[in-house]
Chain A
Amino acid sequence: MDKVSRYLVVSDRTYADPGGGMPVRLLYGTRTAHTMVVDPATADALARRDADAVPTAWRQPLREQRILVPAGEDERGAVLDRNRRASADRSAVHIALLPTSYCNMGCTYCGQRHTRGGLGRDHRDRVRDRVLRAIAAPTTRSLRLDWFGAEPMAGYAVIRSLAPQFVAAATEHDVSYTSVLVTNGSLLTVAKMLTLVRDCGVTHFEITLDGPAAVHDRHRPLKNGRNSFRHIVDTVKAALDTPGCTTHVNFRTNVDAENQESIPEYLETMAGEGFARADVSFTLAAVHSWGNDVSSVELPGKAFAERELEWLRLLQDHALNAQLLPHTPKRVVCPAVTTSAEIISSTGNVFSCSEYPLVEEAEQHRALIRLDQLGPEPGRPLGPFDGWHDDIANGRSWCTDCVFMPTCGGSCPKAWHEGHPPCPAYKFNIQGRFDLLARRCGLEPVAATPAPEGAR
């Protein structure tokens, strides 16, 4: 006996190929993050939550995507148990390192406190030993190593020194190695990008550009008074065009009240620069508090979501890659919910939450432990958000009854604890995203069919 999953969104609209093709509607099953196309009658039955009315031929594929589930299943419990298992998994280790406390930018919305000065030799050695022990642990099968800031490229010498040792150790122990560099991009050069990819194992660059040149350079000023947009764009373009530079770059834009009007020009610029390519993607994210007060420029979630649809459409028009809907469920929402992940600050403090390092109050009061006090065993001490799955189960956030909980995972436990629901934009504009997804597939809307309450 089947029931229709509570974790299903059905498109309000019906779509068809141009010229009056067969009408279809879209399904998004959030337990598997899979989008399906079905005939309108089947979509109607699912939207009515009438599993008996679903044609027999559809049942098996719908079961595979957890859109039809056993009638007696506690779905929320099943999803949270899946997430708990993923959080308890010791085989996937995630370590984020801050190789410096300094940043050469002075962004208006930044909540970190940056100071000059390199890492002490002892600290560097302790970081190296900690990561090498994690790689060598018998339970470890994969390591994700993030270089995080402040501006990690201000600590390039540290990366250059440590990362090749990590890559070699991972190879020796047959551990899968991925590495993300989160950078403002201003200190990158083509030669350094190539070294980072070839010798330091960097598989993903996360680079922030906050608008077209004039806006970016005002929004993210360098402390020496110079501009960075042109340098970043030229460097990334040249590096990606270099043979052997096999990596992925995501350009992130932090959007607030001050740069939102410039997004269309920015996207047009980036398309003109040739970034409509498979190894480049784009993310637009609303500026949010990072332990600081950004209320004067922050865009409320729903307001951002409304504007975002226009920008997603422009991304599509320019053939720039952007994710319309998550295509993997979020089992581990962030490092704060698994003791297999840890963030080692340049100060020597160890955190579970990536928003704590270099934030003055957090550095003083919220460190889990000092790096030099950690024992030889892998894993960090419990942090403030390791009970997050229980918080959801016990109704301590709106996630408890949210249709998107399996793909979002709650987004940011810290934000919930601070009373700022961090819901993703797609919660507010999923129907518009269906329209864009249909459009990407060459479909046109043919009618609006409101879905019943609860199916959205």
Chain B
Amino acid sequence: MSQEALDALRSAGTPVDLLSDSEREIFSSLSPDEVSVLTSIQGRLNEAAAAVQGQVADNNVNTLC
């Protein structure tokens, strides 16, 4: 995806900075509308996955107490 397209999406509020390089790359073959939708949703998914601040990363807390 071109820098201009990324900037446009970013300024429109799409969380493109949450995407990996390869996730950005796949959008080069899609239409601008499709790019916008997929970029936005993937960004929201990545954000949702990282929502809990400081949680034990590999949570094997086995608790009775």
Contact = CB atoms under 8 A, between A and B. Distances in A.
Which 7 residue pairs across A and B have the least CB separation, nearest first?
A: A248-B54, A441-B44, A278-B53, A61-B22, A57-B29, A22-B37, A149-B65
A347 B47 CA distance: 45
Nearest to B56: A204
Contact of B44 (A151, A206, A252, A442): A442
A371 to B, nearest CB: 21
A58 B64 CA distance: 44
A183 B64 CA distance: 9
Nearest to B36: A22
Interface string B8-19: 000000000000
B28 A57 contact: yes
Contact of A321 (B22, B52, B61, B62): B52
Contacts of A247: 54
Contact of B45 (A37, A103, A204, A252): A37
Contacts of B37: 17, 21-22, 24
B28 A441 contact: no
B3 to A, nearest CB: 19
Nearest to B39: A37
B26 A58 contact: yes
B44 A323 contact: no
Interface in B12-56: 20, 22-23, 25-26, 28-30, 33-34, 37-38, 40-42, 44-45, 48-56
Nearest to A42: B26
Nearest to A185: B65
B47 to A, nearest CB: 8
Nearest to A180: B61
Interface of B: 20, 22-23, 25-26, 28-30, 33-34, 37-38, 40-42, 44-45, 48-65
Given A39-B34, A412-B62, A437-B45, 4 more contacts: A57-B29, A60-B26, A182-B64, A248-B56
A61 B27 CA distance: 11
Interface in A35-90: 35-39, 55-58, 60-61, 64
Given A35-B45, A61-B25, A183 B50 contact: no
Contacts of A17: 37, 40-41
Interface stretch (A255-263, A298-306, A330-338): A330-338
Contacts of B63: 148, 182, 206, 208, 252
Interface string A28-40: 0000001111110
A365 B20 CA distance: 51
Nearest to B57: A328
Interface string A142-161: 00001011111000000000
A313 B53 CA distance: 20
Contacts of B41: 17, 24, 37, 441, 443
Contact of A35 (B34, B49, B54, B57): B49
